Amino acid sequence: MCNGGLSKAEPMTDSNHYQIRVEVLTEYLPDQSEPASSRYVFAYTITVSNTGNVPAQLISRHWIITNGDGKVEQVRGLGVVGHQPLLPPGHSFQYTSGCVLETPVGTMKGSYQMTAEDGTQFEAPIDEFVLSMPRVLH
């Protein structure tokens, strides 16, 4: 597994009330991959933590997925894995999802669109992280 980065939310206001931390762990899934057919499957586990002091709900997601050849795919959708979790201050939500690439290496980045209990909408950025088959990157 590779450890991804940490991200902090960038609120649309100057307040520090709206802070979300995003942690990512990735894993290559050799049993589901078929390198001879250019199919590389990865799992990623994300922990979304409310480090601010206002409850906030994860409404939607936006992913930018880039394979090793530079091909970019964008994915948008409501919630994550069928949920739109409400995160009180100090609480976290963790989920695991997956990504299929045509190359043994790629990256993902994006953001979660959040709505605070007081109605403020803000984005929680997800820093770019690498998806890599073992022993491909040095």
97 close to 44: Cβ distance less than 8 angstroms: yes
Q: How far apart are CA 55 and CA 91, in angstroms?
A: 9
Residue with the bigger pLDDT between 115 and 17: it is 115
Q: How far apart are CA 72 and CA 91, in angstroms?
A: 33
With 0-12 / 13-18 / 19 or more C-beta atoms within 10 angstroms meaning exposed / middle / buried, residue 82 is: exposed
Q: Which residues pair with 92 in a beta bridge?
A: 49
Q: How far apart are CA 66 and CA 71, in angstroms?
A: 5
pLDDT tens digits for range 90-118: 999 999 999 999 999 999 999 999 999 99
For 2-132, the fitting CATH number among 3.30.930.10, 1.20.1280.50, 2.60.40.1470, 3.10.20.30 is: 2.60.40.1470
Q: What is the pTM of this model?
A: 0.85
pLDDT tens digits for range 50-102: 999 999 999 999 999 999 999 999 999 999 999 999 999 999 999 999 999 99
